[in-house]
A = this chain, B = another copy of it.
Amino acid sequence: MPHLSHLFHCRRYHLKNFSTTTNTPVTRSPPYLPLSHPTFLIWAANTSLGKTLVSAGLAASFLLSESSSDPRKFLYLKPIQTGFPSGSDSSFVFRKLSHLSLRRQPHSPLVSSNHVLRASLPAANSVLGYGCGTSCERGMGNLGWYEERRVEGEGGSGAVSELVCKTLYAWREAVSPHLAAERESGVVEDAVVMDTLHKCLRLELEGDGDARKKMDVFCVVESAGGVASPGPSGSLQCDLYRPLRLPAILVGDGRLGGISGTISAYESLKLRGYDIAAVVFEDHGLVNEVPLLSYLRNRVPVLVLPPVPEDLSNDLMEWFEESRGVFDSLKEKMLSAYSERIKRLHGMPKKAGEVFWWPFTQHKLVPEGAVTVIDSRYGENFAVFKAHNNEFITQQFDACASWWTQGPDANLQTELARDMGYAAARFGHVMFPENVYEPALECAELLLEGVGKGWASRAYFSDNGSTAIEIALKMAFRKFSFDHGLLSDFQKDNMAGRGVELMVLALRGSYHGDTLGAMEAQAPSSYTGFLQQPWYTGRGLFLDPPTVYMRNSIWNLALPEGFRFKTSKLENIAFNSRDDIFHKRRDGSDLAEIYSSYISKQLSQYSGSGRFNHIGALILEPVIQGAGGMHMVDPLFQRVLANECRRKRIPVIFDEVFTGFWRLGKETAAELLCCAPDIACFGKLMTGGVIPLATTLATNAVFTSFLADSKQLLNP
């Protein structure tokens, strides 16, 4: 029997409590997760299923393995603890490891510590009166509650292994954290919990720089209760921890009913974008692993722990010995999941460069190092993998909302994911013509009561903005043909129309999408060159629009060449406020008159009867031209244009793919223009970017121009 010595430390610190910390502003660093060492989040299907036993078992397997002679460090973090201090999971792990290390005699000396960072006032008071009846000393000081123990190993080499256990926030009552926090006036915001957690991870995983990096470190973060148990703020924990998206271990339920609870918990984690590396549960003789593996299609390992003695006085040492093989195997699976993930993350930019063909990209100008590896999204940020010196995941602001398509915050994102899962499970894919189903009907109704309110009566669905524009053009041309007596000729001979050229009236700088039909409705530009669009001809009359812009806090009007000679007549080409630009009183201004006569003159070339070239539609991006360069067109000009076209019975199309759904602060840009279209296209934000979906809304008059007694005229 080798010589064993026990070293006891006792430092004097105050236990921090919420009566001060919640009132102190916290400096938050951006969420940042070191990936230099394996770090897992331990979840459970329910409370009391043995998360802490699993944590302790993993710590033992990692620190006390016979094969390991190099010093190692195991980090155990319990961000949220209730029932403190009588129940403290970090203290449990600390004590069990101390006992196990005495039994197993590791090669290196093991220093274990347990630290409680912050506790609610009642919990803190309890700690002050907490007896110290074991052989281990505990202390209180200005950095929190602390206990430490040292066990010398067999070899007695200089290198020391470490077990670091930390409880971040603790409350006294043994209830759900949201209740304990509320009752003990110790509510902590989600962002504060996450900030403390990631600072802790950085400190412990990266603190010593290269030395630490070379050391074998393993970290588990243990949640409280079940996967969807509320945290201290009331947010569900599976939502609270989402920004870091740590790989997960799910502690399942081996009892009767436990298959269901385990599968449901697994699905709640998947519905938040977590990856589950393994499921582990205590055996209750019901072979729950069989249906679980079948459900998981054997893609996620399921491990079974021996039954835990029910006798509360049992010190579990025998159980830990009996479970050793399972924990070793679990640890190995976690290590290999970690190393596979890191390998994959490192390899992704190269692979992307080999197999992707990105849109709008000259691949030769994108070196491997310039490729961004997006691990996930949380609200307005990407979680991005970086591999400078240390590997880590950090947050990067999505400044263009992923080309104006992303909208929802983190909570809505999860809700959308669930609702989308629901619709996909309920319907899979079902065809649309002559059918009706609830989500489509509800969506159409919401569109007509929302962005189409007051003018639209029909919703035509398609799958992207460009296609929605092509549909809008066909709608407009049919309406024009109907209104101008061309339709009856075409009906007699469907090829008769081939002598007729229907053109759009559009503004230079507009962009309506990338399919050929949408391209034809835009003016020649760098996007329409032969090399990009070999079939582009540009079937429109394209006008240069007046724009407004801000300089030195003043809004100015910029008139294109064609208007310059008339500016002497104009009084106001600057505006006091943005609201002035949109004000309806401008309709009576000289400028309105100039716009009107200019437009009339342009249109007059196409209004003669007997001509074969017609302006069959007006198409514009109301207020802002997006892809064309974020120009704000003078809304008065667009309003006058729409009114002139309406007078001549030319259907008006608004392309609101970019501007719709409150992107400009109003539900539609049409509302800003004070002018309703006959047809409008929406996309992007319509689904929060979650699936490709677009719609073309139309008035009843547009719709009825397609009605006929035969199928010949069916189709926009």
Contacts and interface: CB of A to CB of B under 8 A. Distances in A.
A570 interface: no
Given A260-B225, A264-B264, A515-B516, A432 B358 contact: yes
B270 A422 contact: yes
Contacts of A260: 46-47, 225-229, 236, 265, 268
Contacts of A358: 432-434
A532 B474 contact: yes
Contact of A422 (B273, B371, B463, B464): B273
Given A435-B372, A467-B466, A441 B348 contact: yes
A715 B360 contact: yes
Interface residues of A, number: 160
A463 B349 CA distance: 23
A211 interface: no
A417 B424 contact: yes
B225 A257 contact: yes
A66 interface: no
Interface in A351-366: 351-352, 354-366
A565 interface: no
Contact of A361 (B382, B490, B517, B714): B714
A366 B434 contact: yes
Contact of A535 (B228, B402, B421, B520): B520
A671 interface: no
Contact of A373 (B272, B437, B470, B474): B437
A703 B178 CA distance: 56
B490 A530 contact: yes
A422 B242 CA distance: 12
A361 B711 CA distance: 7
A495 B530 contact: yes
Contact of A363 (B267, B425, B457, B706): B706
A335 B457 CA distance: 33
Interface in A328-360: 344, 348-349, 351-352, 354-360
A534 interface: yes
Contact of A430 (B286, B406, B496, B515): B406
A448 interface: yes
B263 A268 contact: yes
B429 A690 contact: yes
Given A273-B427, A286-B175, A431-B403, A226 B257 contact: yes
A406 B382 CA distance: 32
Interface stretch (A214-222, A287-295, A556-564, A662-670): A287-295
Contacts of A419: 270
Given A348-B436, A355-B445, A692-B463, A425 B372 contact: no
A492 to B, nearest CB: 11
A271 B457 CA distance: 33
A377 B430 CA distance: 7
Contacts of A416: 424, 428
B428 A688 contact: yes
A247 to B, nearest CB: 12
Interface in A207-266: 225-230, 234, 236, 245, 256-257, 259-261, 263-265
A295 B48 CA distance: 23
Interface string A472-492: 011001100100000100110
A713 interface: yes
Contacts of A652: none
Given A261-B264, A711-B365, A427 B376 contact: yes
A374 interface: yes
A1 interface: no
A374 B430 contact: yes
Interface string A439-474: 011001100100000000111101110110010011
A514 B250 CA distance: 48
B46 A421 contact: no
A359 B424 contact: no
Query: Counting chain B CB atoms within 10 Å of each CB, which of A176, A229, A362, A436 scores highest?
Result: A436
Given A271-B425, A422-B271, A502-B534, A351 B440 contact: no
A707 B264 contact: no
A674 interface: no
Contacts of A398: 430-431
Contact of A425 (B374, B413, B464, B495): B413
Contacts of A272: 425
A46 B256 CA distance: 9
A351 B422 contact: no
A295 B690 contact: no
Interface in A532-577: 532-535, 539
A407 B373 CA distance: 32
Contacts of A714: 360-362, 532
B259 A264 contact: no
A307 B339 CA distance: 50
B364 A709 contact: yes
B459 A357 contact: yes
A97 interface: no
A274 B494 CA distance: 48
Given A352-B436, A371-B434, A417 B425 contact: yes
A420 interface: yes
Contacts of A270: 418-419, 421-422, 425
A286 B370 contact: no
17 contacts: A178-B291, A226-B259, A226-B260, A273-B423, A348-B441, A351-B441, A356-B440, A357-B716, A359-B715, A360-B715, A371-B434, A372-B434, A375-B437, A405-B429, A406-B428, A408-B428, A516-B517
Given A267-B268, A467-B514, 16 more contacts: A46-B257, A228-B263, A349-B436, A352-B436, A355-B459, A360-B715, A361-B714, A362-B706, A365-B711, A373-B435, A400-B431, A463-B464, A473-B535, A478-B531, A497-B529, A534-B616
